[in-house]
A and B are shown apart, each in its own frame.
Chain A
Amino acid sequence: MSKTKNFAVVLSAVVLVCCGALILGQKVNAAGEGKITGTVKLDGTAPHMKGIDMGKDPFCSKAHATDPGKMETYVVGSGGGLENVVLYITEGLTGPAASQTATTEPVFDQKNCMYTPHVLALDVDQKFKVTTSDQTTHNIHPLPNPMTGNIPWNQSQPPGAAPVEKSWKAPEVIPVQCNIHPWMHGWFVVVKGPYATSDSNGAYTINNVPPGSYTVTAWHEAAGTQTQKVTVAAGGSGSANFTFKAK
């Protein structure tokens, strides 16, 4: 009698806690959550980035009159820090952390005929906004592979247009372009779980990582991908530094 009773009580308690964790989401995890930090560097001389001739659109060329635009394939900061690298967890995520969706709503802006940011990392199903700050018409045209479950679309944004709100259904690296300004090229990097993007010094912090052992992947549009094993203690932080070779 008492054995069965105990078992039933323990089971319901476990189930209740699990349900609570599911409902409350991040709040319950926050206490034990850690982070993964590090820097991404480019080894060697940074490749030369070609300048962009925006002469076809007077608005764009005027916006870049003093600061000529250039390609953003490699953006290298002081000390060789590599910007626009997306870092995310490819192995080791379990339980609620793996199925949570980030709740922030990042903005992908079209400013001075360039994409800001050049690379936007997103969680699956995370909403994001596409805005325009320009006095010229853009069309925002992401090119996912429809076989993955992400569907391509193409919307215009004339001057003063309202933001476009979207999300992606599946993990994928999605190029995005403006057909009117062919130099405009950016990326939506859709991943599952916590992620971070390296800043102008190549530094990054992946927050909201529950304790455990993980494989962290660093993705760069031209330099490729690298992986590292990282262990995060409860409330602590793991560290992973990546170095890409300049091609």
Chain B
Amino acid sequence: MQRNNLRKWSSVFGAAAVVAFAMPSSAQQTKYDFETRMNIESHVGNITGHAKDAKPDYRRYCVGCHGELGDGNGENFPWVDPKPRNFQLGVFKCRSTPTGTLPTDQDLFDSIGRGFDRSNMPQWSTFTKQERTDLVAWVKHFSPRWVGEKPGTPITIPPEPEVTPERIKAGREVFARVQCWKCHGVLGQGDGPSAATLTDDLGRPIAPFNFAEGARPKCGDTDKDIYRIFMTGLDGTPMPSFADNIKPDEAWDLVFYLRTLMSQHSKEKAMAKQLGLKPVDPNAPAGQQ
């Protein structure tokens, strides 16, 4: 009886020890084989995308720039600027998720449909929603990040308040305080003191967005899109996330002020004209714009 008990306990302890020692090494192993990749799915709304279904579309429409291996090194690479995205890295500009996290399937779906202004990526709205969702899964299958890592939690955007002259003025203060003008310039023309030396993560020169030339921001041009751009940052570029340093309410003020810098007609622009708003003064002391 005693002997049996001892035996039982020693085996329990032994098993516990094996588990305790084995854990650190097994936790680091992630399975990433061909099978796992091809079975990657994507979910947009109530549509489910399958990586293997997107292969023909990818090989016909995408491979020229993004390459067979998804490394952005297709045959058009030398002539395309900005350079095609390298899907193997799993780093994306347009996200609803915080900096350093994976985008959601919806984000990738939107990017395919929207295209990227001032680049060679057209709007692929010609694909059906099912095809686009399949392509999202195919884009994901190139990077090991999608195995074992989940997309970040999308940032919360409060409902858009009414535009008022006070909000535009407050937005101007935020523009000055977090020093957007360092790269974008005091008039938003992309000519700030640091603009000339900017490079992307792969060391290639990159220009800050010029608000005044009438272009659309790459990650969408609704007020919500602009809010998202500076609160998540554009990963892979010099544009950082300001989520820790701009409060949600202030962020809307900044969106309204950025509208006044754009050449397109807008309510905000008319208000700024009425206010006689001047560009921020980089040499003014803090809080005295």
Which residues from chain A sit less than 8 Å from chain B, CB to CB? 1, 4-5, 7-9, 11-12, 15-16, 18-19, 22, 56-58, 99, 135-137, 139-141, 143, 146-147, 151-159, 161-162, 164, 179-182
Contacts and interface: CB of A to CB of B under 8 A. Distances in A.
Closest 7 pairs between A and B when the two form their complex, measured CB to CB: A153-B100, A179-B238, A137-B179, A139-B240, A182-B197, A156-B240, A15-B13
A15 B9 CA distance: 11
Contacts of B197: 179, 182
Interface in B1-16: 2-3, 6-7, 9-10, 13-14, 16
A18 B17 contact: yes
Contacts of A8: 6-7, 9-10
A180 B239 CA distance: 10
B91 A4 contact: no
Given A8-B7, A153-B100, 15 more contacts: A4-B3, A8-B6, A8-B10, A11-B14, A19-B20, A139-B240, A140-B240, A143-B201, A146-B89, A151-B145, A154-B99, A154-B241, A156-B233, A158-B179, A162-B244
A1 B1 CA distance: 11
Contacts, number: 121
Contact of B233 (A22, A143, A155, A180): A155
B16 A19 contact: yes
Contact of B144 (A135, A147, A152, A155): A147
B240 A155 contact: yes
A152 B235 contact: yes
A19 B238 contact: no
A140 B182 CA distance: 15
A135 B177 CA distance: 10
Interface of B: 2-3, 6-7, 9-10, 13-14, 16-17, 20-21, 24, 88-91, 99-101, 143-145, 177-179, 182-183, 193-194, 197-199, 201, 233, 235-245, 283, 286
Given A5-B3, A137-B179, A180-B194, A152 B245 contact: no
Contacts of A155: 99, 233, 240-241, 243-244
A11 B15 CA distance: 11
A156 B194 contact: no
Given A143-B201, A156-B245, A161-B244, A137 B238 contact: no
A152 B3 contact: no
B3 A56 contact: no
Nearest to A10: B10
Contact of B99 (A18, A153, A158, A181): A153
B193 A156 contact: no
Contacts of A180: 179, 182-183, 194, 238
Contacts of A151: 91, 100-101, 145
17 contacts: A12-B9, A18-B20, A19-B20, A56-B193, A139-B240, A141-B238, A141-B240, A147-B89, A151-B101, A152-B236, A154-B237, A154-B239, A154-B240, A155-B241, A157-B245, A158-B245, A180-B179
